[in-house]
Amino acid sequence: MSTPTTGGAHAAPREPVLTVEDVQLKFGQVTAIDGVSFEVLPDELFAVIGPNGAGKTSIFNVISGVYRPQQGRLTLDGKRLDGARPAAIARRGVARTFQNIELFANLTVIDNLMLGRHQHIGYGTLSALVWLGRARKAELQHRRAVEEIVDFLGLAAWRAMPVGLLPYGVQKRVELGRALAMEPRLLLLDEPVAGMNLEETEDMARFISDIRGELGVSMIMVEHDMGLVMDLADRVMVLDFGVPVTTGTPAEVQRDPRVVAAYLGGDLDTVPDAPAADATPAEIHSAAVEAEEVRP
């Protein structure tokens, strides 16, 4: 795998890659996210969890420029990110996958991955018309880079097929490959294992940890599979109705009674005292059950 030119190695240590400050996003009178702030450090895997409709994907859409927040500030490597168009943000090194696969269904696996490299391929329309020379040389060079991703993700068998014909799990992998082809500085994974069976989930988990190990890309992951999140993430932010509940290591988050309330319902005032810091899962569970019982 080629080393990303924008890799995290030369960034000052612990200087955050992405900072999100007090972002608010509204659709008319509906507040999708409100007062969300967090930082993503180099090489970090930052997870965002929360019940359905909590605003997790909206955060991704704000970061990648699809939605513009009404308020707040985003910076990537210390430079403002908000207000830029999606294509400009992509050029800054933000890549993402989508919850519902957004591949180009009529194009082959190779062409989808080559589209990931779109911003790295330099030639223009006139060279494309002539093809011989500059365009062909660039295509060959980038094809080689794409084939490394094909090998990395084990996509060789499907390489020349239109992605619309591929099974769901493979499409998810192609989408990850397309994001990797962008050589991102920051990778946004939106439910990478949603709808996958155990084997596919394990494969994806391995790919994600390989990406961390070999490429050193910072990642933000939205995921409902708690096992995966707790195993892979460095830090977890919990959202509920667009408002951050807490942020911390997986162990801290699991112990937080507000998280339990967010997932299982109930009002914080009526949630019984927080379980002790060293509470066992059984104690958390019983706290949650109590919270459930007092819910109107």
Which of residues 139 and 290 has its CB atom nearest to another protein in the complex?
139
Query: In this chain, which stretch among 119-127, 220-228, 271-279, 285-293 interacts with another protein, using CB under 8 A?
Result: 119-127
Q: Count CA atoms closer than 13 A to 70's CA, side-chain side.
A: 12
Containing 56, the helix (H) or strand (E) segment is helix 56-63
**3-state helix, strand and coil shares in percent for the chain, rounded to the nearest 5:** 45, 20, 35
**Segment 132 to 161, residues that bind another protein, using CB under 8 A:** 135-136, 138-140, 143-144, 147, 156, 159-161
Determine, following the binding rule CB under 8 A, whether residue 264 of this chain makes contact with another protein.
Answer: no
- C-alpha 110: how far from its chain's center? 22
Map residue 42 onto helix, strand or coil: coil
Quick one: which of 86, 57, 96, 55 has its CA closest to 219? 96
Q: Which residues contact 135 (CB under 8 A, 6 or more apart)?
A: 123, 127, 128
For residue 191, give the amino acid letter. E
Which of residues 115 and 243 has its CB atom nearest to another protein in the complex?
115
Residues 119, 246, 254, 286: which binds another protein (CB under 8 A)? 119
Complete edge-to-edge strand list for the sheet that includes strand 79-80: 30-40, 18-27, 71-76, 79-80
Map residue 236 onto helix, strand or coil: strand
At its nearest, how many Å lie between another protein and the CB of residue 175?
A: 9
Residues 45, 182, 186, 211: which binds another protein (CB under 8 A)? 182
Residues 68, 80, 85, 295: which binds another protein (CB under 8 A)? 85
Residues 80, 118, 206, 295: which binds another protein (CB under 8 A)? 118
Positions in the binding site for another protein (CB under 8 A): 64-66, 85-87, 89-91, 95-96, 98, 102-107, 111, 114-116, 118-119, 121, 123, 125, 127-131, 135-136, 138-140, 143-144, 147, 156, 159-161, 178, 182
